[in-house]
Amino acid sequence: MIDSRPDAKTLAYINLYGILGTLENLLELDPDARALLHNKKPITVAFDVKGGPKASITFAYGFCRMKDRIDECDIKLPFSSCEKFNGMIDGTVTPIPSKGFTHLGFLLKDFQDLTDRLTKYLRPDPKDLEDKKFFDISTSLMLYLIGVAIAQIGNNDEVGRFSASYIADGSILLGVKDGPAATIYCKNHRLLTLKKRTDDPRAFMEFDSIELARDLFDGKVNAVASIGTGLIRIGGLISMVDNVNRILDRVGLYLA
């Protein structure tokens, strides 16, 4: 019997590649976020989760890039379990670096301020969403996060892997018309998300507006009804969209 409960390992993959990975996009979209970084030289922070994901983020010149591996790093944060790493994300665990004590100032100030700002966008105050610029950044970040979460659930979650086993090879576009988009690539039932648009998807699900995308993310409108009215366009190999939507149904369990 398939276990339908969320699991710590899948959540760790979402937290690292999805949540922390979205720092890349935050810094691209928000000049005020870039102003929080004061390091004069590039600094690389590595996250090493036992039994789970590994990645490094390099902060340089007001931007950052994530790699899904650990090479050279200035700060290394080891975690003895996925649960411990998830605890860092939800604020219940304080990590202890195994390398980089001389860079603790960056970790405790710049990095913390940046993740706090990211949280402000991903868990917004409804009043903040009344500002159009904030609304657009927040919704774009949510779309990128959801796109990455779909891949991590499809690769690691037991229910998600079952749905992924029915997805044909190719790309599925998830995006807003004339707006932000993510492309989910499937090969041999393994999923990889790139946070950009592809011009030639094998299947697609496109929202008519960024406002509609927000309402869907917040559960204010029904996706099936929106498809019926043409506010959501789907096309290509529909079975790919159907199975991605089944995985999407589990995203809320992990991002709640």
| pLDDT tens column, 50-98 | 999 999 999 999 999 999 999 899 999 999 999 999 999 999 999 999 9
pLDDT computed for residue 146 by the predictor: 97
- Describe the chain by its helix, strand, coil percentages, rounded to 5: 50, 20, 30
pLDDT computed for residue 9 by the predictor: 97
Over residues 91-107, mean pLDDT: 94
Query: Using the 8-state DSSP alphabet, how is residue 20 labeled?
Result: G
Residues sharing a CB contact under 8 Å with residue 96, sequence separation 6 or more, in sequence order: 77
Q: Is residue 4's pLDDT more than 90?
A: no
What are the sequence ranges of the domains in the chain?
8-122, 158-255
| Matching fold, domains 8-122 and 158-255 | yes
Whole-angstrom distance, CA of residue 249 vs CA of residue 218:
13
Percent of the chain with pLDDT over 70: 99
Angle, helix 132-156 to helix 238-255, in steps of 10 degrees? 100
**What average pLDDT does the chain have?**
95
Q: Is residue 1's pLDDT more than 70?
A: no
Concatenating the DSSP letter of every residue in 44-82 gives EEEEEETTS-EEEEEEETTEEEEESS--S-SEEEEESSH
Q: What's the whole-model pTM score?
A: 0.96
pLDDT computed for residue 3 by the predictor: 67
Whole-angstrom distance, CA of residue 62 vs CA of residue 237:
40
pLDDT confidence band for 105 (50 / 70 / 90)? very high
More confident residue, 180 or 71: 180
* CATH for 8-122, options being 1.10.510.10, 3.30.1050.10, 3.40.190.10, 3.40.50.300: 3.30.1050.10
The per-residue pLDDT for range 18-61, each reduced to its tens digit, is: 999 999 999 999 999 999 999 999 999 999 999 999 999 999 99
Expressed in angstroms, the distance from the first to the final Cα of the chain is: 25
Q: Please report the sign of the dihedral spanned by the C-alpha atoms of residue 198, residue 200, residue 202, residue 206.
A: positive
Q: Is residue 2's pLDDT more than 70?
A: no
**Nearest in space to 44 (alpha carbons), one of 77, 10, 87:** 77
pLDDT computed for residue 38 by the predictor: 95
* CATH for 158-255, options being 3.30.1050.10, 3.20.20.120, 3.30.200.20, 3.40.50.1980: 3.30.1050.10
- Count the neighbouring beta carbons within 10 Å of the beta carbon of residue 2: 8
